[in-house]
Amino acid sequence: MKSVAIIPARGGSKRIPRKNIKPFLDRPIISYVIQTAIESGCFDEVMVSTDDEEIAEIARQHGAEVPFMRSAENSTDQAITLYAIREAIESYRKIGKEFDLLSCIYPTAVLTRPESLRQGKEKLIADPDALCVLPMVRYSYPIQRALFEKEGRIHMFQPEHCHTRSQDLEKSYHDAGQWYWIRTPAIAVPDFKIIWTSSAPIIVDGMEVQDIDDEADWSMAELKYRLLHEKNPL
């Protein structure tokens, strides 16, 4: 089965300007993700989907392909990642390249391990009924005991669990939001959703997960990377 890694990296990040190529420790953050994708051995091609010439050049320097530039339509602040992926696959078809599987890996998913990508691919291949595989990470606190505030008072979303022991509650998870695998034909389905009953999970450690939306997140990601790197250097 032919596989492609698509790293969506537009140039117009607002909350952290130029986020996708900002120096992370000692080099552009996207370079770590490219390296991880290549070292996983999962892919026939690792490509970066971007509208930005500087990002494209940095991506090529670190071993990724940029066979075409992303359209302005799919590079706005409101652009949906799935549409950019569809555009990339359609552009490949125009130059005679087809892929059975694709993995979208976000350019700031710097904590992702090669073995997690391999595990995701293996699970998708082994489960013919799954259209997608994505990583999940366990909530650090039981969601059944979540609180909300109303009119100056504390309320529980599920008050029936007020006195339930944490260890007796069902484990809960959330989307890790770092990467996912898809059977390529699925992205052409109009109502396709990444998180759906056709999606299969793999469970990853919280040390592999860090949203990077502000400078505090960035610092936390660097700290986690140092800890992971000391144990499992790339």
Classify residue 140 as exposed, middle or buried by CB count within 10 Å of its CB (0-12, 13-18, 19+): exposed
Query: Residue 192: what pLDDT?
Result: 84
pLDDT tens-digit readout, 66-84:
999 999 999 988 888 999 9
Nearest 5°: the CA angle 120, 88, 113 is 25
Class of domain 3-137+174-231 as given by CATH: alpha beta
**What span, in angstroms and rounded, lies between the C-alpha atoms of 113 and 186?**
25
Tell me how crowded residue 179 is: count the other CB atoms within 10 A of its CB: 24
Give the total residue count for the chain: 234
Q: What is the pLDDT of residues 27-61, one digit of tens each?
A: 999 999 999 999 999 999 999 999 999 999 999 99
What is the reported pLDDT for 27?
96
Smallest CA-to-CA distance from 4 within 63, 66, 46, 50 is with: 46
Percent of the chain having pLDDT more than 90? 86
Reported as a pLDDT band with limits 50, 70 and 90, residue 13 is confident
The token duo for 185 is: 């034909």
pLDDT bucket at 109, cuts 50 / 70 / 90: very high
Summarised one tens digit per residue, pLDDT across range 185-220 is 999 888 888 888 899 999 999 999 999 999 999 999
> From CA 35, how far away is CA 172, in angstroms rounded?
31
In this predicted structure, what is the pLDDT of residue 190? 80
Q: What is the mean pLDDT of residues 6-23?
A: 92
Q: Residue 231 — pLDDT band, cuts 50, 70, 90?
A: low
